[in-house]
Amino acid sequence: METTLTPHVYWAQRHGDIYLRVELSDAKNLDICVQDNTLQFKAQGHGAKGDNDYEFSLDFLEPVKPEVSHRSTQRLVNVTVRKQEQRWWDRLTLQERKPLFLAPDFDRWLDESDAEMELQAKEEEKINKVSIESRIPYLGLKKGYLFMYNLVQFLGFSWIFVNMTVRLFILGQDSFYDTFHTIADMMYFCQMMAVAEVINPLVGLVKTGVFPAMIQVVGRNVILFVIFGSLEEMQNKAVVFFVFYLWSTIEIFRYPFYMLACIDTDWKLLTWLRYSIWMPLYPLGVLAEAIAVIQSLPIFDETRLYSIPLPTVLGSSFSFSFTLKIYLVLMFLGQLVPLSDPPP
């Protein structure tokens, strides 16, 4: 009489599934089915008794669905059976005494409370996924807007940087003194666009503070519109070249960094350049801005531009240059605070 060979079988359960791991390597001619709530398994492979035909059957404790899924590897066969009802079983088989070939699969074993926690976590994950999917149109518009903003700013500052570099090589030091007249229009455009860097965190489009972005944008616009834009005497000075060149050098690395971040792309060289170049160029830019302010003080005193008339008892007027001197002090005090680079 031929003896039936059975492989080693390990099992585990969840509220909705039964997992079986059959220790049978190089399995072939698999025949796995559920009939009358009994799992029938037959296959050829290498098991505990060498290369042979192996089979076993399991009468389940409670009803299961007839569909069976399985996946075989070189070392084993994984079988999954779905329960008719999502509930926890006290044991696997109808008979109280488990078969000798059957043992718990401790790699996948969970007790009932742990399985309930796992099931709850999966439900929460599904809810979160639905929530995220419902926000995809908003996220798409948000990323598209931020990407285009950073792209436009990158192109604008790249034009400034390339234009000034070419003029420097062709004209040498002479290019220092007409920088404003050749570059100002594009710089006006870029710095007016930069106001969005204050609005973006204000409305929650980016997770950064409003205050750091406001300091940078307002500071630059004071230099550009008040110091350079309103004083013709300042527009022909070399300091304009250095301010514009330092600003554009910083931004041709900063804006593409944030542009790529919008599409979840990290270019390590760009990341290194962005953070490395920022450190020396930011204080140099502040120094150039301070020199511009200092050079403008006697001009504001002489022209009385933006000065506020006062009653005779208090004096003739409140000079705007006094406001700029306070601004200078605040500018240098700001250098004592750790550097931050507010993203758009």
Q: Are 66 and 34 in contact (CB under 8 A)?
A: yes
Same domain, 220 and 90: no
In a domain, 340, yes or no: no
Distance of CA 1 to the CA centre of its chain: 68
Rounded distance, CA 300 to CA 293, Å? Answer: 10
**Residue 106 carries which DSSP code?**
T
- Please write the tens of the pLDDT for every residue from 198-208: 999 888 888 87
**Residue from 224, 243, 251 nearest 176 by CA:** 243
Same domain, 86 and 183: no
In a domain, 26, yes or no: yes
**Residue from 13, 1, 202, 222 nearest 104 by CA:** 13
| Final residue of a structural domain among 109, 144, 163 | 109
Percent above pLDDT 70 for the chain: 87
| Final residue of a structural domain among 49, 78, 109 | 109
In a domain, 342, yes or no: no
Same domain, 225 and 291: yes
C-alpha gyration radius of the chain:
37
Same domain, 161 and 205: yes
Residues comprising the chain, all counted:
344
Token pair of 246 as six digits = 């330092």
Same domain, 48 and 87: yes
* Whole-structure pTM value: 0.59
Token pair of 313 as six digits = 């008892």
pLDDT at 331 over 70: yes
pLDDT value at residue 313: 60
E strand or H helix that includes residue 285: helix 268-303
- Please write the tens of the pLDDT for every residue from 57-83: 999 999 999 999 999 888 899 999 999
Average pLDDT, the chain: 86
Letter for the amino acid at 122? K
pLDDT value at residue 338: 47
Same domain, 37 and 77: yes
In a domain, 2, yes or no: no
Active site residues: 282, 289
Same domain, 102 and 145: no
Q: Are 247 and 149 in contact (CB under 8 A)?
A: no
Same domain, 104 and 142: no
Same domain, 204 and 92: no
Q: Which residues of 295-332 are buried (b: 16+ CB within 10 A; e: fewer)?
A: bbbebbeeeeeebeeeeeeeeeeebbbebbeebeeebe
- Please write the tens of the pLDDT for every residue from 185-197: 999 999 999 999 9
In a domain, 62, yes or no: yes
Give the chain's domain count.
2
Rounded distance, CA 6 to CA 290, Å? Answer: 86
Beta-bridged to residue 59, according to DSSP, are 38
Same domain, 165 and 283: yes
pLDDT value at residue 333: 76
In a domain, 115, yes or no: no
Beta-strand pair 8-13/102-104: parallel
Same domain, 102 and 136: no
Residue with tokens 């200078």: 328
In a domain, 297, yes or no: yes
Question: Domain range holding 257?
Answer: 129-335
pLDDT value at residue 39: 93
In a domain, 172, yes or no: yes
What CATH number does residue 20 fall under? 2.60.40.790
pLDDT at 106 over 70: yes
Same domain, 99 and 140: no
Token pair of 166 as six digits = 């070419």
| Final residue of a structural domain among 109, 142, 167 | 109
